[in-house]
Amino acid sequence: MTREVKDHDTRKQEILDAARDLFLKKGFSNVSVSEIIDSVGIAKGTLYHYFRSKEDILDELMHIYRAERMAAMKPIFEDNSLTLLEKMGKLAYFAEDTTRDKDDWFSVILEIFYKDSNLLFRNKLKRNILEVFKPDLTHLIKQGIKEGVFDKVYAEETVELILQIDLGMLEKVSIIIFDEKNKKVRKEKLSRVIKTHKRAIKKILGFSVKNMETIHERIINALAEKEVRRRRQ
């Protein structure tokens, strides 16, 4: 049987699309290279012509995901008619909506943070997150300082510290979501982590606005619900 010959970009995209569907459905660790190959209908050598490994495929997919997510949030960050609190509200709702989406990557990210077998990729992902989110978050903190919502902190250094705290929280959240089977206990543990995280961020920024749901609260609550539904399927 003669294989269909396709141009480089088309074939590469087919591999990415197939891997994306499998990772979202089964989780990164539960998908083998053979499954991706079978899904696309190509030879093993063809896949390795485009990607060195399964991790290499995930790396490119995560790059696409981050670019799409930042492009969608950019108008909020750059809208000069919005106050800081208005931007935070819009970003929180955006984060919640995208996390609830069945095609969102946050569940895959949590798995990467949870499993020790993903340690090298996890470290690379952490560096990329810092690099991608730092510029816009720095601008956001500077706006907050200017509007008197935040203390006069060092914006860039503060963003780096907050992002490191966020990444640590993601690791903690991944352990709770994947390990804790009791729904009530899981909810209580997540609530404590969220409250502790919120308290730390408010202390760092001098943020005193009460009853303000953070982006992380919406994401984590949506993730917990999503993971429970996935396990029931």
Residues 164 and 183 in one domain: yes
Residues 42 and 99 in one domain: no
| C-beta of residue 201 within 8 angstroms of C-beta of residue 207 | yes
According to the per-residue pLDDT averaged within each range, which of 66-70, 120-124, 152-156, 221-225 is highest?
152-156
User: Structure pTM?
Assistant: 0.80
Model confidence pLDDT, tens digit, residues 122-136: 898 889 888 988 999
CATH of the domain at 172: 1.10.357
Q: Is 41 left (phi over 0), alpha (psi -120 to 50) or beta?
A: left
Average pLDDT over residues 160-177: 90
CATH of the domain at 46: 1.10.10.60
- Containing domain of residue 35, as a range? 1-51
HSE toward the beta carbon, residue 94, CA cutoff 13 A: 16
Residues 192 and 158 in one domain: yes
Structurally, the chain folds into a number of domains equal to: 2
| Residues 6+ positions from 207 with CB-CB distance below 8 Å | 144, 149, 150, 201
| Residues 6+ positions from 111 with CB-CB distance below 8 Å | 27, 28, 29, 118, 174, 178
Gap between the Cα atoms of 36 and 32, Å rounded:
7
Residues 101 and 82 in one domain: yes
Gap between the Cα atoms of 133 and 215, Å rounded:
14
